[in-house]
Structure 1
Amino acid sequence: MKGFVSILFFLGISTSPILSQTLVEPNQNFVWESFSFVFPEPVVVKLESTTNKKLTVYPAKRDGFFMIVRTLPWNEPLIDKTLWKDSVFTRGIEPKTFPKTLGNLNFQVFQADQIRNQNALRNQVWICLDSKPALWIWIQWKSDRKDLNEFFESNRFLSL
């Protein structure tokens, strides 16, 4: 088996599940699908092109948050909007929904806290149907990371 892996490495064939990734430095604008994002610390960005385009963001140096961004293939969700929070917030604590306007885009934000694997987590799902394509953003971060609370809750991740 060791020889097989060595041959794959020699031929330049990756055995890693992340085939397309980019390192993005803090406060650097990262443009994807005409949307511009900024991150609070160095992150690895994984791009996927499936039926719906998808961007996954992981911290490069320490854990604490992740983000998934998708384009939506329709103008209006096909199901009741209250079900969006149920699809992400398993046993969410104090779920709430509120509107946010950034620039000329209107977002519906679903937010809830969670306890998962003995970690207190904050979850937000941002849905914007004003944009073309429509945008869905899921952010999850550790609640004890006060720097992340302030960063994500003040919308600094979206540089519109």
Structure 2
Amino acid sequence: MKGLWVPLFWFLAFSNTILSQSLVEPNQNFLWESFSFRFPEPVVVKIESTLQKKLTVYPAKRDGFFMVVRILPWSEPITDKSFWTQSVFHKPIEPKQLERVVLGKTFRIYQADQIRNQNALRNQVWIQMDAKPYLWIWLQWKTDRKELSDFFESNLFLSL
């Protein structure tokens, strides 16, 4: 049994490796892979190497939102709305699905509010539909932070 742990350790170490972590200032274009993002306040971005490429964004100074970005190996998400509302959102309030075109790219957006730890949160999952590589973005922010709602719902985070 002892011999099994060493290969397992190395597999886990190389399958989920943090490649970099850095501070990004507000409204600065941040390039990752072939995509460009902007953030409403100073953030820490963490680039990870997993089975899929992953970018995680956290506020640097105060609580309020986070963002996870992945590149998907497939083009069409599962279109069963109940799958998304049950697997992506925890106890969703008024889940919706809509499509939006941003800078010529089409995104399917799944959106729902929720209450977690006495915080009212807005959740959105953006899935790019019409170009490779396919982009998956999960946003969550506190709804009492009006400036974050304005920023994310106006697509200002995408500067593709």
Question: 1:62-141 residue pairs with structure 2 within 5 A?
Answer: 62-77=62-77, 79-82=78-81, 83-141=83-141
Q: Distance in 2 between matches of 1:159 and 1:126?
A: 14
Identity %: 71
TM-score, with normalisation over the residues of structure 1?
Answer: 0.85
Q: Distance in 2 between matches of 1:81 and 1:126?
A: 15
Q: Distance in 2 between matches of 1:120 and 1:37?
A: 25
Q: Structure 1 runs of 4+ off > 6 angstroms?
A: none
Alignment-derived partner of residue 55 in structure 2: 55
Q: How many residues align?
A: 143
Q: Distance in 2 between matches of 1:71 and 1:85?
A: 21
Structure 1 unaligned regions, length at least 5: 1-16
1:86 partner letter: Q
Alignment-derived partner of residue 155 in structure 1: 155
2:118 partner letter: Q
**Secondary structure, aligned partner of 1:152:** helix
Q: Distance in 1 between matches of 2:108 and 2:85?
A: 11
Deviations 1:105-151 (A, max 9, x none): 10000110000000000000000132211110000000000000100
Alignment RMSD: 1.5
Q: Distance in 1 between matches of 2:76 and 2:138?
A: 18
| Farther-moved stretch of structure 1 (60-69 vs 81-90) | 81-90
Deviations 1:22-66 (A, max 9, x none): 100000000111111000000000001122100000000001000
Q: 1:126 to 1:81 in 2, by over 3 A?
A: farther
**Residues 68 and 139, structure 1, Cα contact 8 Å, conserved in 2:** yes
Q: Distance in 1 between matches of 2:18 and 2:118?
A: 27
Q: Distance in 1 between matches of 2:93 and 2:36?
A: 30
Alignment-derived partner of residue 26 in structure 1: 26
Q: 1:157 to 1:95 in 2, by over 3 A?
A: same
**Residues 18 and 48, structure 2, Cα contact 8 Å, conserved in 1:** no
Q: Distance in 1 between matches of 2:110 and 2:80?
A: 10
Q: CA deviation at 1:88?
A: 1.4
**Residues 85 and 125, structure 1, Cα contact 8 Å, conserved in 2:** no
